């Protein structure tokens, strides 16, 4: 048992003003960490104790599939030159020189180191597969360190690397990590989602991110609790409830109507007594092509939808977007903002025979049919200074819509895509919205900010090729081993757990990763009987296998309760006045604000009661 009176737990009443997210505030206030410099922290007793528990879980699970190494943090330039990453890492890499003037860096990741070991030592397919992992300090010269331990320059990572003889082997190593990661995060008590992701600068194809929903996150993720669908908002799609189209008016052809002063969607909707779902919203962009020229792009989507610019960039193959200025609107639409529409525009025709890119430029996965047409647009776009128009998929097959007439104070009604205008491309470019249907199962999707806690990648031959790793296959032929790499942010597990469970007074960690399972608070140590009862309870709990902190400080009970609520310990036993009747109080930190949730326990039953709580699913 640890006695609080002898520990260094520097709790703070207030967090520094620059601490914005909950985990940053509470890690400082609870005395878990102290900042040394921007993005660099010291881990004090409680913080390190929690991180040790997290690392123990990671080790136990990783040892089931792999072998633990410990690789250098100090890496020579020559090694990173072999893979090209000495240059690719740019300013993110901490670089230094040794006394002889040789360049070196502090490692961000260790593909080159494990590949150099593999190429020197692995000779035969019989030695494969291999899974090597380590838990080690990593360095990254983050330009804007913030959010406590979420965006830092020095951090602890579990990184693992697999070597297999072929793609089927890599699939298996990848699946093992997927299962292991699920086991690790579940044991750590996190509620997480798994997102198919891009592999970014790591290279390769096939990757998943493990994410935790929190306001402190920097990614927006859509997910379905029912079937497990999850996607970054830049790729997420959703099913929409069907919309009943308006009945046609007159002869059913586009009808020009006078709509003075009805530039805003809300105004035209009220004026024509319809819904925003019946309106075509028009957005006019200038898009920077890969050739460095700005080109016009018009997007048409349902009146109540918004454009996802990341999707639009992918569809057009543009690098950057900005809205058109007044003169540009005049050039391409002949009409002012508020009255833009698709009818009568001269746009690039849809191109059936343009070169079709068979694979997504970002992930390498096979393209959906509508995405192939998108890729063709990227090509047409690059060659043309004409207007490219993009119709959002949600308007496909709709009829009798209302759209601007490209003329001040006029709209068209009875506008039907495909009949009255032909967009250059039809593609999903809208934002998915919380509550819309999951694309797989139609259950309502959730959308929120999330933090990445783990990432698994299929690297393929990226490093074995560039660094010359070869083994002999079963036929005695020299082949490259195929690789995977797999990371977990150790501190991010702690930060995410705090983000998931906190209130105004502090936080509570899942017992598996809390610095202690339980704090035994003696309300008044001047009372010898109370102190002795508290010590007995703590000893009983310890004998029962619990990690126990005894609060034997000479402080007022109120101060002790406040501190206990702050520092993340999931359970508290109050040893106070009721001890005379043979009772102590059990407080579950998650419900500490609710006095009625406090339970009285007979002195002799404390360990059994706590065990029942801790083994609850």
Q: Which residues bind Zn ion (CB under 5 A)?
A: 224, 226-227, 229, 438, 440-441, 443
Residue 301 contacts residue 394 (beta carbons within 8 Å): yes
Question: What minimum distance in Å lies between the beta carbon of 229 and Zn ion?
Answer: 4
Phi, psi of 316 (to 5 degrees): -90, -15
Q: Supply the minimum distance, in Å, between the C-beta of residue 288 and Zn ion.
A: 36
Measure the CA–CA gap between 131 and 67, rounded to whole angstroms.
Answer: 6
Distance CA 413, CA 185 (A): 54
Q: Report the residue number, 230 or 391, with the smaller CB distance to Zn ion.
A: 230
| Nearest CB to Zn ion, comparing residues 378 and 438 | 438
- Compute the distance between CA of residue 83 and CA of residue 466 in angstroms, rounded to an integer: 6
Contact (Cβ atoms closer than 8 angstroms) between residue 289 and residue 318: yes
Residues 304/268, Cβ–Cβ less than 8 Å? no
Q: Among residues 30 and 208, whose Cβ is nearest to Zn ion?
A: 208
**Cis amide leading into 129 (omega within 30):** yes
Q: Please report how close the Cβ of residue 368 comes to Zn ion at its closest, in angstroms.
A: 18
Dihedrals phi, psi of 29, to nearest 5 degrees: -65, -35
DSSP state of 92: G
Cβ proximity to Zn ion, 226 vs 365, nearer residue: 226
* Pairs from 210-213 (Cβ < 8 Å, separation ≥ 24): 210/181, 210/185, 210/452, 210/453, 210/454, 210/455, 211/450, 211/451, 211/452, 211/453, 212/450, 212/451, 212/453, 212/496, 212/499, 212/500, 213/446, 213/448, 213/449, 213/450, 213/500
- The 10 Å CB-count burial string (b at 16+, else e) for 362-391 is ebeeebeeebbbbbbbbebbeebebbbbbb
In this complex, which beta carbon is closest to Zn ion, that of residue 226 or of residue 334?
226
Q: Which is nearer to Zn ion, 438 or 509 (CB)?
A: 438
Q: Is the dihedral of CA 601, 607, 612, 616 positive or negative?
A: positive
State in angstroms the smallest separation of the CB of 213 from Zn ion: 16
Q: Which is nearer to Zn ion, 228 or 582 (CB)?
A: 228
Min separation Cβ 439 and Zn ion, Å: 7
Beta carbon nearer to Zn ion, 240 or 613: 240
- CB 226, min distance to Zn ion, A: 5
Tokens 């990371």, located at residue? 487
Cβ 225 to Zn ion, closest distance in Å? 8
Distances (CA, A) of 546 to 61, 88, 313, 514: 22, 48, 54, 12
The least distance separating Zn ion from the CB of residue 72, rounded to whole angstroms, comes to 45
Return the structure tokens found at 376: 């063709």
Give me the least distance between CB of 192 and Zn ion, in Å please. Answer: 16
Judge contact between 318 and 287, C-beta under 8 A.
yes
Of residues 103 and 442, the one with the C-beta less far from Zn ion: 442
Q: Cβ of residue 141: shortest distance to Zn ion, in angstroms? A: 40
Our CB check for Zn ion shows the closer of 76 and 437 to be 437
Q: Which is nearer to Zn ion, 156 or 237 (CB)?
A: 237
Nearer to Zn ion, 163 or 229 (CB): 229
- For residue 566, with 0-12 CB atoms within 10 Å meaning exposed, 13-18 middle and 19 or more buried, which class applies? buried
Closest CA to 431 of 336, 257, 299: 299
Listed in order, strand segments (DSSP E) in 437-565 are 446-460, 471-472, 478-479, 482-489, 502-503, 506-508, 518-522, 548-551
The DSSP result for 397-424, as a single string, is: T--SEEEE-SSTTEEEEEE-BTTTB--S
Distance in Å, CB of 433 to Zn ion, minimum: 15
Nearest to 339 by CA among 264, 231, 398, 432: 264
> Residue 403 pairs with which residues in a beta bridge?
412
> Given the complex with Zn ion, which of 113 and 193 has the nearer CB atom?
193
Instruction: Report, in Å, the least distance between residue 240 CB and Zn ion.
Output: 15
- Distance in Å, CB of 227 to Zn ion, minimum: 3
């Amino acid at each position: 048992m640890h006695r609080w009176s002898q520990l260094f737990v520097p709790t703070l009443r207030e967090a520094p003003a620059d601490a914005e997210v909950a985990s940053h505030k509470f890690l400082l206030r609870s005395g878990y960490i102290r900042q040394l410099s921007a993005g660099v922290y010291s881990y004090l007793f409680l913080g390190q104790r929690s991180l040790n528990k997290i690392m123990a879980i990671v080790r136990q699970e990783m040892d089931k599939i792999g072998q633990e190494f410990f690789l250098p943090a100090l890496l020579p330039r020559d090694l990173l030159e072999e893979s090209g990453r000495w240059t690719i890492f740019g300013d993110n890499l901490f670089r230094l020189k040794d006394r002889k003037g040789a360049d070196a860096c502090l490692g961000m990741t260790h593909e080159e180191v494990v590949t150099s070991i593999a190429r020197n030592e692995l000779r035969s397919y019989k030695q494969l597969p291999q899974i090597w992992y380590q838990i080690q300090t990593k360095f990254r010269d983050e330009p804007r360190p913030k959010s406590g331990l979420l965006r830092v320059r020095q951090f602890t990572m579990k990184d693992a690397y697999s070597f297999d003889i072929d793609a089927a082997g890599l699939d298996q190593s990848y699946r093992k990590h997927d299962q292991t990661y699920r086991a690790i995060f579940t044991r750590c008590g996190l509620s997480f989602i798994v997102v198919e992701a891009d592999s970014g600068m790591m290279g390769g194809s096939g990757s998943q991110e493990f994410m935790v929903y929190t306001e402190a996150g920097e990614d927006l993720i859509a997910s379905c609790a029912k079937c497990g669908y999850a996607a970054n908002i830049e790729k997420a799609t959703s099913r929409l409830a069907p919309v009943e189209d308006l009945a046609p008016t007159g002869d059913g052809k586009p009808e020009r109507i006078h709509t003075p002063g009805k530039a805003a969607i809300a105004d035209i909707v009220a004026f024509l007594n319809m819904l925003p779902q019946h309106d075509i919203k028009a957005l006019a962009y200038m898009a920077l092509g890969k050739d460095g020229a700005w080109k016009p792009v018009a997007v048409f989507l349902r009146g109540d939808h918004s454009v996802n610019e990341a999707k639009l960039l992918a569809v057009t193959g543009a690098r950057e977007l900005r809205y058109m200025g007044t003169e540009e609107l005049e050039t391409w639409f002949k009409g002012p903002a508020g009255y833009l529409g698709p009818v009568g525009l001269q746009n690039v025709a849809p191109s059936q025979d343009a070169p079709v890119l068979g694979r997504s430029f970002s992930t390498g996965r096979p393209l959906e049919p509508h995405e192939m047409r998108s890729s063709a647009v990227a090509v047409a776009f690059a060659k043309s200074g004409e207007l490219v128009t993009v119709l959002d998929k949600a308007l496909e097959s709709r009829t009798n819509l209302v759209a601007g007439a490209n003329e001040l104070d006029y709209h068209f009604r009875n506008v039907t895509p495909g009949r009255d205008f032909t967009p250059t491309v039809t593609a999903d470019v809208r934002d998915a919205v919380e509550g819309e249907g999951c694309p797989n199962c139609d259950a309502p999707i959730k959308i929120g900010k999330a933090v990445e806690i783990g990432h698994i990648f299929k690297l393929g031959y990226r490093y074995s090729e560039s660094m010359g790793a070869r083994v002999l296959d079963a036929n005695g032929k020299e082949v490259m081993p195929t690789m995977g790499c797999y990371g977990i942010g150790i501190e991010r597990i702690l930060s995410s757990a705090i983000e998931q469970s906190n209130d105004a007074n502090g936080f509570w960690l899942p017992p598996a990763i809390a610095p202690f399972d339980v704090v035994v608070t003696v309300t008044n140590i001047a009372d010898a009987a109370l102190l002795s009862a508290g010590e007995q309870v703590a000893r009983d709990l310890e004998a029962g296998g619990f990690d126990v902190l005894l609060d034997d400080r000479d402080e007022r009970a109120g101060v002790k309760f406040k501190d206990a609520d702050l520092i993340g310990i999931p359970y508290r036993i109050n040893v106070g006045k009721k001890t005379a009747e043979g009772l102590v109080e059990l407080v579950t930190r998650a419900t500490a604000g609710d006095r009625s949730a406090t339970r009285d326990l007979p002195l002799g039953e404390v360990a059994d009661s706590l065990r029942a709580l801790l083994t609850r699913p």
